[in-house]
Amino acid sequence: MGRPGLSGRVAVVTGAAGGIGAAVARTLVADGAGVVLADVDVAGAEKVARRLREEGHPGRALAARLDVTSPADWQAVCRTACRAFGRPQLLVNNAGVHGLHGVESLGEEEWSTVVDVCQRGTWLGMRALAPLMRLAGGGSIVNLSSVFALIGTGAAVAYHAAKGAIVSMTRTAALEFAPQRIRVNAVSPGIVRTPLTDGLPAGFVDRIAADTPLGRPGAPAEIAAAVHFLLSDAASYITGTNLVVDGGLTAR
């Protein structure tokens, strides 16, 4: 069966200035969707959007500034999407930040920042777009969690906590929104080489990759393919799930 197209659908992708977010935006634009690439780094998002337009997708990629912790910014992005393309039916909550410290060394500022961006930002995104999806007749949401919602590392406690909360929020939101024809799923990537992971301590990515049965980090495009599947009609009977894309890491 061929991959169902997304022609005519409208998507908002957060954290779209690079890494997984940019790869998701590219996949959706290539499949016919109009995509708002939202990021606090609006210059970076515009660079990705311009590249997509130059690659043969004119009129389908638009950058917008979004601080995912700001309800006002979410409302502005919703207005931008509606003016440019119509009511959004697709949302990818991808924006996130890392924290590195364990329980005793973690400061309150790091805890607040990581939880605010990863966890609260995901909630605010669902809250902002669900009403528009209802008016559009339904939709699909994918929240980016992490394999570190499922396993421990002995550090990064705020990141583990926030990503675990995303999986729980996804399940309960799926039940809440199912009667409204809105599906909600999560994707939990394993270790993936992105600008975000490039900022991790030296050797961390290589150590996790060495423990991964497939023997390498994932690529952003591989995560984007999973996100695309869950957004598409090929996943029309899937909601409330967490799709783990980790090269076999959690199979150990």
Q: Is 159 labeled as catalytic in the residue annotation?
A: yes
C-alpha closest to that of 163 among 141, 127, 188, 142: 188
Kind and range of the H or E run holding 40: none
Rg (CA), the chain: 17
DSSP 53-87: HHTT-TTSEEEEE--TT-HHHHHHHHHHHHHHTSS
User: Distance of alpha carbon 31 from its chain centroid, rounded?
Assistant: 18
Cβ-contact 220, 22 below 8 angstroms: yes
Phi, psi dihedral angles at 6 (to 5 degrees): -110, 20
Which is the catalytic residue, given 148, 159, 177, 229?
A: 159
Whole-Å CA distances, 120 to 61, 77, 96, 113, 147: 26, 17, 10, 10, 19
Name the residues annotated as catalytic: 159
